[in-house]
Amino acid sequence: MSRMTALRASGALALCLVAAAATAQTTTLTIATVNNGDMIRMQGYTSQFTEQTGIAIEWVTLEENVLRQRVTTDITTNGGQFDIMTIGMYETPIWGANGWLVPLDGLSEAYDVDDILPAMRGGLSHEGTLYAAPFYGESSMVMYRTDLMEAAGLEMPEAPTWDDIRAAAEAMTDRANEVYGICLRGKPGWGEGGALITATANSFGARWFDEDWNAQFDTPEWEAALTFYVDLMNNFGPPGYATNGFNENLSLFQQGRCGMWIDATVAASFVTNPNDSSVADSVGFALAPDNGLGRRSNWLWAWALAIPAGTQQADAALQFIEWATSRDYIALVAENEGWANVPPGARTSLYETPDYQAVPFADMTLRSINAADPTNPTVDPVPYVGIQFVAIPEFAGIATEVSQEFAEVYAGQQTVQQALANAQALTNDAMEAAGYR
């Protein structure tokens, strides 16, 4: 019994301490964020924000899947646990439309909202109102090993086709030394493998839905896209690519195991950082490939900061968002870590900065972002907005299951045709349940 009272007493003491700490600090913001490099870097600088404003920050850093699960449950149950949430281009317009986010129309003059890249601003708005401020934005592009290309006697065009990619992958593959011509995502999850195959399918002229919301997986375009992808990866990809996502591929590329990697532009700063990457000085960049149909397979995405409507501290939250997504923050990171490490893809002014223009991937990143058109993602017209996603609430659930079907193809457990038939059935079923058809 005495142990229990002791425990209780110490618990009470701890509560008092916490309470004392809380009252000393006038405001504390709780921020949910993803454990990506740029966000973790930001956490290191928050003490500066606290010094300037007296607002303390409580970080809840979670892995992407867990983060989505947490913030979605919180927002739909009106939990109000977070003052700021890190969400993406997929969630923002949907949540904004539901009235779950505080509109960001109170941004200050100095913040200069017009400086945000138009593509990002468009993707983070609903009916013209901005609901989240981009912390960093990205498209996708080809990252390749200049040394391996040279050794193979090839040159990467600035705007390659999928055939160029295939030829280069074949030439660079050296299985004996565990060098694989190309690393692409296969990992199930709509934001992982699902994103890349959807963007790839766009360049083959495939689409998720026709204008009447009928699933389109039974079309020859999808079959061509998926067949090409599977064939490319089975021949020239790393073993077990069915479970590789962004992080797995990044780590493979940094270890020098990949000849090419088509993925988020934001990865460019990681693969060229000599501290983490063994191939830092031999990485080249090119636009994401097309298939001669006029659509490139590059996507558009932003990780952005939004204020849930349930918060009591919207003003302080806005203050933080202004700080974290400002030009000054970019300058602060540039000063301490170099221009290559600033959060990219959010502001026009960044790409007008001469110092940043000298960064090897800056130009290609901007061109990739500008080449992405979320309202016109593929060859045929579509009823939805979004390139590697479809901006409807049902998409995350459907696309996760579809990407699981595809991953089973990557793992050799079913055929392309089986997977597409399953995807077609489950998508139509879910769309019916949601009342589209």
CB of 49 to another protein, least distance (A): 17
CB of 269 to another protein, least distance (A): 10
Q: Which residues fall within 8 angstroms of residue 1, CB to CB, at 6 or more apart?
A: none
78 near another protein (CB under 8 A): yes
* Secondary element (H or E) of residue 329: helix 327-337
255 near another protein (CB under 8 A): yes
Query: Which two three-digit tokens encode residue 291?
Result: 């298939």
Query: Which two three-digit tokens encode residue 371?
Result: 């080449």
174 near another protein (CB under 8 A): no
* CB burial readout 141-172, b (16+ within 10 A) else e: bbbbbebbbeebebebeeebebebbbebbbbb
7 near another protein (CB under 8 A): yes
426 near another protein (CB under 8 A): yes
173 near another protein (CB under 8 A): no
Residues 265-294 that bind another protein (CB under 8 A): 270, 276
Query: Which two three-digit tokens encode residue 380?
Result: 């045929």
Phi, psi of 155 (to 5 degrees): -130, 135
251 near another protein (CB under 8 A): yes
Residue closer to another protein (CB basis): 10 or 357: 10
User: According to CB under 8 A, which one of 26, 47, 48, 69 is a site residue for another protein?
Assistant: 69
CB atoms within 10 A of CB 113: 15
Tell me, by CB under 8 A, how many residues bind another protein: 77
316 near another protein (CB under 8 A): no
User: According to CB under 8 A, which one of 9, 18, 151, 293 is a site residue for another protein?
Assistant: 18
Question: Do residues 296 and 287 make contact, with C-beta atoms less than 8 angstroms apart?
Answer: yes
178 near another protein (CB under 8 A): yes
313 near another protein (CB under 8 A): no
Residues 325-344 that bind another protein (CB under 8 A): none
How much is the CA Rg of the chain, to the nearest whole Å?
23
Residues 104-163 that bind another protein (CB under 8 A): none
Residue closer to another protein (CB basis): 25 or 357: 25
Question: Is 109 exposed, middle or buried (CB count within 10 Å of its CB: 0-12, 13-18, 19+)?
Answer: exposed
390 near another protein (CB under 8 A): no
375 near another protein (CB under 8 A): no
Query: Which two three-digit tokens encode residue 433?
Result: 């349940």
79 near another protein (CB under 8 A): yes
CB of 373 to another protein, least distance (A): 25
179 near another protein (CB under 8 A): no
Question: Do residues 168 and 236 make contact, with C-beta atoms less than 8 angstroms apart?
Answer: no
Strand order from edge to edge, sheet including 283-287: 180-183, 258-264, 140-145, 283-287
User: According to CB under 8 A, which one of 27, 46, 55, 82 is a site residue for another protein?
Assistant: 82
Site string for another protein, 94-113 (x = CB under 8 A): x---x---------------
Question: Do residues 119 and 327 make contact, with C-beta atoms less than 8 angstroms apart?
Answer: no
User: According to CB under 8 A, which one of 155, 211, 352, 429 is a site residue for another protein?
Assistant: 429
User: According to CB under 8 A, which one of 280, 349, 400, 436 is a site residue for another protein?
Assistant: 400
415 near another protein (CB under 8 A): no
Residue closer to another protein (CB basis): 81 or 161: 81
Question: Largest Cα–Cα distance in the chain?
Answer: 78
How far is the C-alpha of 417 from the C-alpha of 260, rounded, in Å? 27
Residue closer to another protein (CB basis): 74 or 290: 74
309 near another protein (CB under 8 A): no
Helix H, strand E, coil C: the string for 127-162 is CCEECEEEEEEECEEEEEEHHHHHHCCCCCCCCCEH
CB of 69 to another protein, least distance (A): 5
Among the listed residues 193, 197, 177, the one whose alpha carbon sits nearest the alpha carbon of residue 185:
193
Q: Which residues fall within 8 angstroms of residue 125, CB to CB, at 6 or more apart?
A: 92, 93, 96, 131
User: According to CB under 8 A, which one of 42, 55, 64, 111 is a site residue for another protein?
Assistant: 64
Residues 181-240 that bind another protein (CB under 8 A): 187-189, 238-240
* Residue for token pair 């193809």: 409
Query: Which two three-digit tokens encode residue 391?
Result: 């901006």
Residue closer to another protein (CB basis): 136 or 204: 136
